[in-house]
Amino acid sequence: MNKIEQHLKHHKLRITQVRLDILRYFQNHKTALSHADLEQHFSKHFDRVTIYRTLTSFLENGLIHKIPDDSGIAKYALCRHDSIAHSTVDEHVHFKCKNCGKIECLHALEIPKLHLPKKYKPESANLLIEGTCALCNA
């Protein structure tokens, strides 16, 4: 039982080929991925609906998170609680490059807590910064 299989096990997901392959693919990419990205790469091997359902199962079981942007196309990236405990919701900033279009997780940057108007109860937050990324500025 290798690392990736353990990762699935740990999140109570059955070990199947599509899950192993897509999980590894996420691990090898530092930028967020859309269904279309995965379909492009895996359509020879798996049905597009299976890819959708794989993303859904990863999302529901906390392996990945969804990153909203104004495009309306869902993008996902790995959660980083590679630690033992299945906890610590890691809320971090996302960066979208206007040049190359890629979205990155800035795990080092926390989203600052704001003082909301009376009676508003915050539970989670999403901060997306747009601009040009390090690579495109090089």
Partner DNA sequence: TTAATAAATGCAATTAAGTTGCAAATATGT
Partner DNA sequence: ACATATTTGCAACTTAATTGCATTTATTAA
For every residue of 13-81, which 3-state class applies, written as one string? CCCCHHHHHHHHHHHCCCECEEHHHHHHHHCCCCCHHHHHHHHHHHHHCCCEEEECCCCCCCEEEECCC
Of residues 93, 100, 101, 105, which one binds its own copies by CB under 8 A? 93
Of residues 36, 73, 89, 100, which one binds its own copies by CB under 8 A? 73
Per the CB < 8 A criterion, the answer to whether 67 and 128 are in contact is yes
Binding of DNA by 136 (CB under 7 A) = no
Number of residues that bind DNA (CB under 7 A): 25
Applying CB under 7 A, which residues contact DNA? 9, 13-19, 34-36, 45-50, 52-54, 56-57, 72-74
Applying CB under 8 A, which residues contact its own copies? 66, 68-70, 72-74, 93, 95, 98, 106, 108-109, 111-112, 114, 116-134, 137-138
